[in-house]
Amino acid sequence: MSETLRIALLGAGQLGGSFVLALRENGADIHVSAYDPSPNHAEELKSRGGVDVVCTTPEQAAKGADMVLLAAPLRTYRALVSSVASVLDDGCIVTDLGSVKGSMAALAPLIPKAHIIPAHPIAGSEKSGASAARADLFKGKLCILTPDEATDTAAFQAIEELWSLAGADVIAMPHQVHDQIYAYVSHLPHYIAFVAASYFHALGIRISDDEAMLQQFLRISRSNPRMWTDVALENREALLPVLGTYIALLEHFATELRAGEPTTGADKKLLAKTLLPRVLAASLISSVSLYEKQSGTNLRPFGGAGMRDIVAPAAITPEADTEMMSNHATEMAEMIEGIIPHFRALESLIGAEDEPALYASISQMVEDAHALITPRN
């Protein structure tokens, strides 16, 4: 490896851009060649000092690199690695930023002479693109590396040191454990937010700036649909059972509420805005608790801001909300029964691996989420 670390950045968005900006700010001696299918992203990072050379192909960026950083959607990994495999030097480190680590393990046959070090920084936001990149994004945040028995020790240590330099707290675990944990604490919360936003939109609900709880609860519903389509499909083996458990808990809530006294006459929009987030949050908390009991693993250290946003409604005015739910039990049961098919549809598309339909569905949910806080024509 050369004295100056030569990095090929494949994907010049929020996470990849933040990583190279953080390294620069903290004194790393690096040279960054960047490729992005949207060249303006790489050009913007170059204008901010994060990139030295903007490349027109992945191969041009990766030629002569000491390290290739995959900072692109998960389902582009195989194509990107296939395109650069012939130009990689022996011993080149290939690492990434994705939230499904099994995706990286599957690349090994394509690049047998490279050192694969999967990494997942627990950071980011619903924003995307180079404009969202910032040097302090990873400061004090967790970064998980997922080595296996074949991982090169020196390569692992090199990536560990870079993430520490970027400000992250680094730990390691098997990729199977990582993917199971993040199905609960990251992936499921995002799909809850997508479905909730779309359901609210269908009810004609609007969210004002002063409705802080709803703003927080729905923040991640405006996340990148391409990214979250890829996550769902790449981690489907772990995610589908998690989603099934969540749906079963919602069905249990509805059954319990159905057993209450018949109620009518409440404002449906008010009930949805006030109580539905609490039910969705409580079901997520219950799902996580079941996994913790079964696995003996405490998931609290691994949850990011998205998880905190989704569970937040469970802690707001619990006594008043419980009384309100009791007073409108059957109406709430109907509402829960109304949202369950949306989760079932998502489950079906993921199970069928229907990428075009899943992407279209999530894209529509994200569009609905934006419409909740923008004027209607």
Asked whether 84 and 53 are in contact (CB, 8 A), the reply is no
pLDDT tens-digit readout, 349-375: 999 999 999 999 999 999 999 999 855
Lowest-pLDDT choice from 134-148, 219-233, 294-308 = 294-308
Lowest-pLDDT choice from 122-126, 162-166, 266-270 = 122-126
276 closest CA partner among 235, 231, 335, 218: 335
Burial of 262 (0-12, 13-18, 19+ CB in 10 A): exposed
pLDDT tens-digit readout, 185-205: 999 999 999 999 999 999 999
pLDDT tens-digit readout, 210-235: 899 999 999 999 999 999 999 999 99
In the chain, domain spans: 5-173, 176-371
Measure the CA–CA gap between 73 and 51, rounded to whole angstroms.
20
Structure confidence at residue 376 as a pLDDT band (50, 70, 90)? very low
φ, ψ for residue 171, nearest 5 deg: -135, 170
Measure the CA–CA gap between 68 and 20, rounded to whole angstroms.
12
Query: What does the pLDDT average to over 110-133?
Result: 88
Measure the CA–CA gap between 254 and 339, rounded to whole angstroms.
11
157 closest CA partner among 170, 140, 166, 138: 170
Enter the pTM of the model: 0.90
Q: Maximum Cα–Cα distance for the chain, whole Å?
A: 74
Ramachandran category for residue 206: left, alpha or beta (phi over 0 → left; psi -120 to 50 → alpha): beta
Structure confidence at residue 325 as a pLDDT band (50, 70, 90)? confident
pLDDT score at 377: 46
Structure confidence at residue 266 as a pLDDT band (50, 70, 90)? confident
Lowest-pLDDT choice from 173-187, 205-219, 319-333 = 319-333
Asked whether 48 and 21 are in contact (CB, 8 A), the reply is yes
Look up residue 268 and give its two tokens.
């449906």
Mean of per-residue pLDDT scores for the chain: 93
CATH superfamily placement of domain 5-173? NAD(P)-binding Rossmann-like Domain (3.40.50.720)
Measure the CA–CA gap between 97 and 141, rounded to whole angstroms.
13
